[in-house]
A and B are shown apart, each in its own frame.
Chain A
Amino acid sequence: MKGSFLVTAVLTLAAQAAEPLPTDIAKTIRTSCLGCHATAVSKGGIDLERAAIDWNAPKERALWERALRAVDQKRMPPPPLPRPAEILSKYLADNLARHTPFGGNVPRRLNGAEYEATIRELFDLPKFRLPMGFPPDTQAHGFDNVAAAMTMSAPLMEAYANTAWEIADTVFPPPGRKPEKRIWNSPPPDMVTSFSASTVRNGVLRMASRAEDIMRSCTWPARVEIMDSGVYRLTLKASQFKPKPGQSMTLEVYAREIDATDRSKIRAFRRVYTTQVTSETPQTFTFEAELYEGQTPLIRWANAELDHTSEQLPALFRERFERNPRLLAAYLQALHNPDGTPRSPARLRGRNGYDLINRLMQDEKLDMTHATLDSPRTRRMLTMIGTIGGLNNLHDTLAHEYFDHGPSLQIHDLVVEGPLAPAEGPKDKKRKQIQQALAGVAPDAVTPEEYARRVADRFLPRAFRRPVDEATRSSFLQVATKHWQQGHTFDEGMHLMLRKILLSPRFLYREMHPGDLDAHDLATRLAYFLPQGPPDAPLIEAAQSGRLATPAGLRAEADRLLPKKPDALMVRNFTGQWLDTRKLASIMPDPAFQFSEADIATARQEVEYFFAEMLAKNLPMTDFIDPDFTFTTKPFAARNYGYKNEAQNTDDARRIVRLPLTRGGRHGGLLGLAATMIATANGVDTQPVLRGVWVLDRILGTPPPPPPSDVPALTPDIGGATTPRELLAAHTKEPRCASCHTMIDPFGLVLENYDPVGRWRDIWPKSKKPIQSAVTLPDGTQVRDAIELKRWLVANIDLFSTSFATKLLTYATGRAPNFAERTEIQSIVAENRRTNGGARDLALALIASKTFRTR
C-alpha cells in the first residue's frame, strides 16, 4: 500500500501536464477497474492505477480509449460484476475528444489504381495498365489506400523504374528498325478457322456468318504480322458458293492487331476495304491499304444471313425446314427426349452437331410424325430456338449447312506485299500528340533546350500536383541537358527526364505536409477520393484561386466530383472493399447453384448501381437498409428475387434496370443483395460466423477482436443432422468464446435464410430442417428473421450511418479516424439525420469536416 502510494506520487510529479482525476471518477475507477488493473496486479498488462491522467501523452490516450471501448461494449468489468457509474464513460469521452489532435498521418504513396489513373490522365493514355507482375497493394483498416500500409520496397521501386521506362518509351521511343519489304502468301490452310466461323473445303475457305464476335465470323492469316507500319498491297481471290439468285456478297477487310483477343468485336477494328463478290468463278481484288506494326488483315462477309443473334434464327431454320422436311425431323429428334420433352441443344456443337443431324437424316427409321412446319412440336421448337439467348451452338451447327449447301463466301488466296511506302501508325500519331501536350509545342518547332524548358514549366506542376519552385524545376531540366552534353540524342535526354519525374517522391507520394492540408493537397485528396485520378483543371483552378479553402468552394467542388454513374472508379473501389464484394471474383459458387460468371458480374453491378443511385438521388440513409427499389437484370430478378421474367430479348435481358420493391421484404438493401451474401459465404455453404463478423464490421462499424489462434474455423451443417444453430450454440457455452460470439452469432444466424448466393431459403439443405433464424441481438432486441433485423437497423439508423461515414472517411483520408475525429463524425451523422439529410448530404458534410481537411 505504501509502495503504491510512493509510485503514484512520483508519477504525478513526473507528469506536469497531467490532470488530477476528479474524486468521483477516481472512486469509480477504483471500485470498477482496479480489482484487476491496479499496478500490482496489471491483469492482461493493463495498469489503470494513477492519480492523474496526462491527456497529452498519446500512449495514455490510447490506454484510456481502450478502457472506454471495453466499458461501452460491456466487456469490462466482466459480467456479472456491476456496471461502472455512467459518469466514467462521459468523463473519458469528453477528455479524449478534447485532447486528441486531429490528423496524424504520413505521406501517402499512390496505390496501384491511383498510379494507373494518374498515368492515364497525365499522358492521355486511357488504356494504360500496370504491367502484369506489378507488386500488389496491402490493405489496412479495410482499404488498399491507407498511408501506413503503402510502404515502399526495392522490388516495388524496381517495378516503378521499369514502368517509368515503358511509359518513356511510348513518348520518346528508341530508334526503330529499317523497314524491310516482303511478300506473305496465305493460302486457305494458313487462314485461321475458329469455332464455326469458317471451314476449308477442297482447299478453299468458306465463310457463313457476320457475327459481331470475330471468332464466330471472321478469318485472318495466321502467319502475317506487319513489322513496319506502311502502305501494303493486298491481293485477294474470292468467289461465291451456291449464291441465291442475284445475290451480291459484301466482303470487308479490316486491320486487326494480331495480339488482340479473339473475343474482340468487329467494331474494334479499322475497315480498310469493301468490295462485292458477284460470281461463282473466282474474282481477284487488288488494293492498297495502310497496315500498322503488329497488325494483320481480317476478312469478313458483311451481309451474310447468319449473324449469331437469336432473333433471326427461327426464320433461317424455318426456311431450310421448308425445303427439307427430313432436316426438320432430324432437328426435332435431336432437340427432344424420347418422351417428347424438349432437350438442351448442348450437344449440337459445331460440325459435330451438324454430323449428328446428318446421321439422323440418313437414318431410314427417322420419325417424320411431327415434321411439318405447323405441328405444335415444331412451333415450340422454333420458339425455343429464338429465345435461348447467348447460346451459340445452334448457330455454329447451322453454319455448316451454309458451308455444304450455300450460300457461302469463298476465299481462295490472300497475298500481302509491302511496305510500298511508310505510313504513320496510331502509335506514331499518339506519340506526337503526347509530345505536343507535354510542352504545348512540338519538339521540332523549338530547340531541344526550349522544349525541355516548356515541359518543365507545363508538365512538372501537373505531375507533382502543385506549383514547382525554381530549384526543383532546374534540377529536372538539367537531367536532359546534361545527357545531351554527354552525346545522347534528343529522345534519350527527354526519356531520362521523364523517368526522373516518374520516380520522384514528389510524383509517387501525395499529401506531403502535415497538419491542415494546404489548397493543393486538399485538391489532391479530393481528386483521388472522388474521381480517383489527379486533380483536373477546374479543381487546380479552385486551389490556386483560394476558392477551395472556403467552405462554399470546397462544397461546390465536392458536389461536382461526387460520382454520378455506377461505373465510376470510386463506386467500384469503395464498395468493393467496404462490402467485400471484391471477393466475388475469387468465389465460384458450387455448380449446384447454377450461378454463372455472368451472374457474378451482375451481382457486383447490383451493388454499384445501388450505391450510385443512393448518392446521385440523395436518398435517405435508411434506404441503404430497406429501400423500395433494387437494380438488377430481369432474368436475375426472376431467378433470385422471385420476380416474373419480363425480358423481351437478349439485349433487354442483359440490361441492369431499376425494379420497384416493397419495403419490409426479403430482398433489396445491403443485406438482401446477392453480392454481399456471396461475399460472406464460401460458394458452397453459408458461414454464419463470417456473416456475423461482416455485419458487425461493415454495417455496424464495431468489428470484434480477432479470434484466438487455436480455434478451428466452424464448418456449418456437419453430419447432416446438426444445424448451424446447434453448432453455434457451443460458442455461447464456452466463456472464452461467449464474450464475442454473443455479439457475432446472432447477426450471422439471422441471415441464414439467404443461401450462399443470396437466394431466400426456408430449409437447411443438409439437415432438411426448417431454418430457425430468430435471435436475440446484443442489445436484447428479439428479431425473428432478416426482415426484422432490417427493421431494427432502420430504427437505429445512426449505428449504420456512423459506420458508413467512418469507412468513407477512412477511405478518403487514408487513416482510421481517431477519437476526436470519430466524435466529429458522430455529430455530423446526428446533424444529418436531424435535418433529414440524405446520403449525398452526408458525404458532402463529411468532406467539409475537419477530419477530411487534416492530414
Chain B
Amino acid sequence: MNGLTFLIPIALVLGLGGLVAFFWSLRAGQFEDLDGAALRILIDDDADDGPG
C-alpha cells in the first residue's frame, strides 16, 4: 500500500506529461503536413541549388 502512494501519482504524472506533449505538438503545427515531413528527410541541405 505504501508503494502505491508513490507509483500511482508517478503513473498519472507520466501520462499527463504525454498528454501535454501531444497538445503542444498539436498547437505547434506538427500534424499540419504529415506527408511533407516524410519527404523532407530526403532533401539534401548541402546542395546549394537543390537536387532538382
A and B interact: no
The interface of chain A, by Cβ under 8 A from chain B, is none
The interface of chain B, by Cβ under 8 A from chain A, is none
